[in-house]
Amino acid sequence: MFTAWPKEIPRRGVLVNSLDEQTPFKGFMTRGETVLLQRSNPDTLGARFLIIPFAEIAIVKFIDPLTEATFHKAGFVGEFAP
């Protein structure tokens, strides 16, 4: 998802890792099998960036309202409930 992020989806959301830790992010970059997240707010230690391997990502939550058509452009198939 991060390496082919659709232009129609804002580059922000909440990442949940395999340890069930949630990280809100407002931007990201990729390199190889990792993603560099720009945190929305510093964590309790003041960290503003986080590097995580793709294999450790459990969930990506979208915080912006999105349409069915946007997800179709991202390669998803099917329909939402009315």
State which CATH number among 3.30.70, 2.30.30, 3.30.200, 1.10.10 fits the domain covering 2-73: 2.30.30
pTM of the model: 0.89
Looking at residue 60, its pLDDT comes to 97
Please tell me the distance from the alpha carbon of residue 17 to that of residue 73, in angstroms, as a whole number: 25
* Residue-wise pLDDT tens digits, 41-72: 999 999 999 999 999 999 999 999 999 999 99
Cα separation, 65 vs 57, in Å, equals 22
Give domain limits for the chain.
2-73
